[in-house]
Amino acid sequence: MKLLVVGGGGREHTLTWKISRSPLVEKIFCAPGNAGIAEHAECVSVDTSDICGLVEFAEKEKIDLTLVGPEAPLVEGIVDRFNDRGLKIFGPGADAAMLEGSKGFAKKLMAKFNIPTGTFQIFSDADEAIEFIRDMGAPIVVKADGLASGKGVTVAFDEESAITAVKRCICQGAFGRAGHRVVLEEYLDGEEVSILAFTDGKNILMMPSSQDHKAIHDGDKGPNTGGMGAYSPAPVLTDDLRERIEKQIVRPTIDGLRKENCEYRGVLYCGIMITDSGPKVLEFNVRFGDPETQVVVPRLKSDIVPILLACLNGELGKVEAEWTDEAAVCVVLASKGYPGKYEKGKPISGLEEASKVPGALVFHAGTSIKNRKIVTDGGRVLGATALAKDIPSAIQRAYECANAIQFSNKYCRTDIGKKALARLGKRN
């Protein structure tokens, strides 16, 4: 088989690495890819937003299966365009992808099908939104309705912060069209967990749990990022909670979309808050998470390609997946200044030494090759990932891997997995 992976970050490197291990695959292309992906695939200069270019490339190279990493092409309808040309592609169509493309759409769906989430209201008028904030008080969550690269959410602990967030979205256009409407949402207190599941529109194959670290600084302080690290499994998720999430959230979401004539095939990502009254949905994503993929996919012992094909062919019920009992931890190495302004083109050293750490896997996110050297080319540069017998051991290995890598203005959080250690300590 010939496969095309769309994207160029840590998630896509992880998926390309996993796909390259399949005996079913003869050739992998990645558009646009990065320096790490180039070790497993041929990188092609087609941007993820160039859907016409991607269709033309897939037809020219006779691609057997395309896997889409980022959300924007899915929301823009890349799956529908490929399907119209008879090309196999993994992911939901544009109608189902609105689950991530519009937070208002997702909230309305949850309300209709009694899927547990925080109470909410949707506004396109800033004055009305501000009046609602004054009535509700803080804490309150302000979300840009559309895609904002993970940066359109403000958890406001005072009314003025919430009002400022609304004005940035609606009045100042900080997120363009994505912020023309805002969702004002009940603040949910608890601990987050990420749940990913394969689905063919009817059947569901749950993946192991994970937990992301979105804030830039230790202790979950500072602005949100695309994710500064992750670990799997998440000790906060008990077997009972896992069953409840599948029964009360994942299945009703897939079934609800089908009832709305939006059959969903691909990966469903559920961002869940474990509250005192049970699990509640914070957000849905319509693709593999990043950096959750870097800790979940390495734990998959089975070949991923038959699972992808089963999702497309409506045969997921015939497939089983085997997962390792090992834990995985990923520490994101970023460029200083991210998620704001940062410099690019800094030479990276120590990659070979990092790869020698037992259980280590270094996934490239924002890297490129310049003068035959690997250099930084993004805010999130690398994911220092490690597998080990348990979370404490995986944390130690991941940081050993991270410390071996050097580039100018390197930054990473120092507390990835700390919540897991606290949970495990309570059990012991």
pLDDT at 426 over 80: no
Q: What is the C-alpha separation between 271 and 245, in angstroms, rounded?
A: 11
Number of domains in the chain: 4
Question: What was the pLDDT predicted at 326?
Answer: 98
Question: Mean pLDDT across the stretch 140-144?
Answer: 95
pLDDT at 152 over 90: no
pLDDT in tens, 368-409: 999 999 999 999 999 999 999 999 999 999 999 999 999 999
Question: What was the pLDDT predicted at 220?
Answer: 93
Same domain (yes/no): 73, 59: yes
Of 155, 186, 217, the residue that ends a domain is 186
Distance of CA 222 to the CA centre of its chain: 20
Question: Mean pLDDT across the stretch 88-116?
Answer: 97
In sequence order, what are the residues at sequence separation of 6 or more whose Cβ sits closer than 8 angstroms to the Cβ of residue 403?
none
Q: Are 63 and 29 in contact (CB under 8 A)?
A: yes
Q: What domain range includes position 300?
A: 191-318
Of 144, 166, 186, the residue that ends a domain is 186
Question: Mean pLDDT across the stretch 26-42?
Answer: 98
Q: What is the C-alpha separation between 224 and 152, in angstroms, rounded?
A: 9
In a domain, 262, yes or no: yes
In sequence order, what are the residues at sequence separation of 6 or more whose Cβ sits closer than 8 angstroms to the Cβ of residue 28?
2, 3, 4, 5, 16, 19, 20, 40, 41, 42
pLDDT in tens, 280-326: 999 999 999 999 999 999 999 999 999 999 999 999 999 999 999 99
Residue 88 banded pLDDT, cuts 50, 70, 90: very high
Same domain (yes/no): 82, 8: yes
Bridge-based pairing of strands 182-186 and 140-144 is antiparallel
160 phi and psi angles, rounded to 5 deg: -65, -35
Q: Domain containing 153 — which CATH number?
A: 3.30.1490.20
Residue 138 banded pLDDT, cuts 50, 70, 90: very high
**What percentage of the chain exceeds 90 in pLDDT?**
96
Q: Which of 153, 240, 238 is nearest to 193 (CA)?
A: 238
pLDDT at 332 over 70: yes
In a domain, 354, yes or no: yes
Question: Mean pLDDT across the stretch 190-213?
Answer: 97
**152-156, 192-196, 351-355: the lowest-pLDDT one:** 152-156
Question: Mean pLDDT across the stretch 343-351?
Answer: 97
The helix (H) or strand (E) run that includes residue 426 is: helix 418-427
pLDDT at 340 over 70: yes
The helix (H) or strand (E) run that includes residue 7 is: strand 2-7
Q: Are 190 and 276 in contact (CB under 8 A)?
A: yes
Same domain (yes/no): 199, 295: yes
Q: What is the C-alpha separation between 127 and 367, in angstroms, rounded?
A: 43
DSSP string, 54-117: HHHHHHHTT-SEEEE-SHHHHHTTHHHHHHHTT--EES--HHHHHHHH-HHHHHHHHHHTT--B
Same domain (yes/no): 289, 356: no
Q: What is the C-alpha separation between 41 and 12, in angstroms, rounded?
A: 11
Question: What was the pLDDT predicted at 427?
Answer: 63
pLDDT at 428 over 60: no
Same domain (yes/no): 198, 313: yes
**148-157, 182-191, 213-222, 374-383: the lowest-pLDDT one:** 148-157
Question: Mean pLDDT across the stretch 78-94?
Answer: 98
Mean pLDDT across the chain, nearest whole number?
96
pLDDT at 223 over 90: no
pLDDT in tens, 37-57: 999 999 999 999 999 999 999
